[in-house]
A and B are shown apart, each in its own frame.
Chain A
Amino acid sequence: MMMLARASKEFSGKLIAVEGLDGSGKSTQIYLVKRWLEMQDMKVFFTEWNSSDLVKKVTKRGKKEQLLTPTTFSLIHCTDFADRYERQIWPLLRAGFIVLADRYMYTAFARDVVRGCSHSWVRNLYSFAAEPDVTFFFKVPLETALDRILSGRPQLKYFEAGMDLGLSNDPYESFRLFQQRIHQQYESMEKTYRFHVIDATRTVEEQQQEVRELIQSHLDLPRFRKRARISLA
């Protein structure tokens, strides 16, 4: 049983990730991509940030009891990611699947650095993971994202609001300042990681059309059809 060393690109599948602030609409968009591919009988797998059953309990407890420091916050999210990567993403990519990721390592690059972790330490942490073939960045003006999230005056959780950064005692104000910093981090990554920037102020349909076109131009889609179905037909 060998460990993943440095990320390898030797796989026949394709990896598509979406990134963006809370309220940017990225989850809606990736869901529509998933439906679109599934309905064409494609081998597709969807994975979501912070969703490993194995690690979830720890993260939940750590957040609830506010036990997390920037370093353990970063490490526990990377553990969650590694679990999904080693057991699902990486085997599925080698098995020729299209893997759709709602948030990928760039989320950690943005959040952990905002929390004070070293830029290079966080990047090294995730160096076992392959870079996506396509990364969509759903970009909205900060105020738009904040309005979408805050208009309903939701109950913001401690870490979600970035309260651990001590920026403000008011959860809403803290959330604003926290999101603003994350926004800046995303913008600084656009070029380095070749994000496809999607103007997320437009309608859902307009955005989805652009996303689908881009996927079609990057991926030879017929190659990802399920074999069983083809032979049955």
Chain B
Amino acid sequence: MSKIFFGEGLPGVDQDELQGRLIVVEGADGSGRSTQIERLTAWLERHGHAIVNVGIKRSTLVSDQLDIAQKGNILSPTTRSLFYATDFADQLENIIIPSLKAGFIVLADRYIYTLMARDIVRGADRDWVESLFGIAVVPDAVFYLKVSPRLLVERNFEKNVVLDYWESGMDIGMSRDMLESFLKYQKLIQTEFAHMQQRFGFEVINGNRAPRAIALDLQARVARIIGGIPTDKQEQEIIKTPKLKLDDETAERAPRIQTAPARALSQSVEEVSV
């Protein structure tokens, strides 16, 4: 399956060459994004898929300088937007596209949607932002981990003790009170994501659940795109089934079929992959 670009794409890239898969996980800080990406990576690698991870502010070209500028709070909004776009483009051209050409699965810890939402809630022109990111490859799936702002607050305090200046939208000046600003800002971002969800067809994942429940949900959805991989849940059911038989019918012969679960598992895996 070939990929397409949101806009005019990039000079010199033939979209038919892009054979891999691009899967995006979006969500606020504290939505469990990174945990879920780690789990997805481990699960896919266990089943023999080659994974490449990308994310915001990870480019060789600008990430260090962007960090410095962000800390000094000296970036004006349009400049910041373009700085992040440069960071994105660098990863797009040097990692995402070559990996897709090589048939890798690219897992993106956030993508252009977070960048666009941040800009739009700060008053950027929607057409300008969309044209800017018209260079991006359209993902095979976008999973948006939606977590209530209240729960985000709890998780952020647990993790970092303080709320992040930018994730609280303090630069917008909605409130001098950080908690109040955080709640308002996250609400604005969620509204923008709801808008984008319709426009770009995200899958919204209820992120208020336990990490394991979310992981299984994501596996089931990713399995639909990639095919041929059992989810952890399916594997477990495979293990459970013979056990049940063991309890109900053949309790006395138990020692003889102790290895049955393993054998059943390998058979079932073969069935699934067929």
Contact = CB atoms under 8 A, between A and B. Distances in A.
A197 interface: no
Contacts of A115: 11
Nearest to B8: A118
Interface stretch (A33-41, A76-84, A146-154): A76-84
A125 B128 CA distance: 7
B7 A75 contact: no
A228 interface: no
Interface string B68-84: 01000011111101110
Nearest to B169: A1
A179 B200 CA distance: 41
Interface stretch (B58-66, B101-109, B178-186): B58-66
Contact of B128 (A61, A69, A75, A127): A127
Contact of B77 (A3, A78, A79, A124): A3
Interface string A96-135: 0000000000000000000111101100110110000000
Interface string A51-95: 000110110011000011111100110110011011100000000
A32 to B, nearest CB: 31
Contacts of B10: 71
B99 to A, nearest CB: 16
A76 B119 CA distance: 18
A85 B80 CA distance: 12
A5 interface: yes
Contacts of A121: 7-8, 131, 134-135
Interface string B148-191: 00000000000000000000000111000000000000000000
Contact of B86 (A4, A75, A120): A75
A227 interface: no
Contacts of B40: none
Interface size band for A: 35 or more
A120 B131 CA distance: 9
B78 A87 contact: no
B93 interface: yes
Contact of B122 (A1, A54, A57, A86): A1
A5 B83 CA distance: 17
A2 interface: yes
B135 A67 contact: no
Contact of B123 (A2, A70, A71, A72): A2
Contacts of B90: 67, 69, 72
A1 B76 CA distance: 8
Contacts of B134: 121
A6 interface: yes
B124 interface: yes
B69 A1 contact: no
B79 A1 contact: no
A93 to B, nearest CB: 15
B93 A82 contact: no
A121 B79 CA distance: 17
B28 to A, nearest CB: 20
Contact of B81 (A3, A117, A124): A3
A5 B128 contact: yes
A71 B89 CA distance: 7
B8 A3 contact: no
Given A82-B79, A86-B78, A67 B125 contact: no
Contacts of B92: 71
A210 to B, nearest CB: 35
A204 B173 CA distance: 51
A79 B74 CA distance: 13
13 contacts: A2-B123, A5-B123, A58-B62, A68-B61, A69-B90, A71-B92, A76-B61, A83-B75, A87-B76, A121-B7, A121-B131, A128-B78, A128-B125
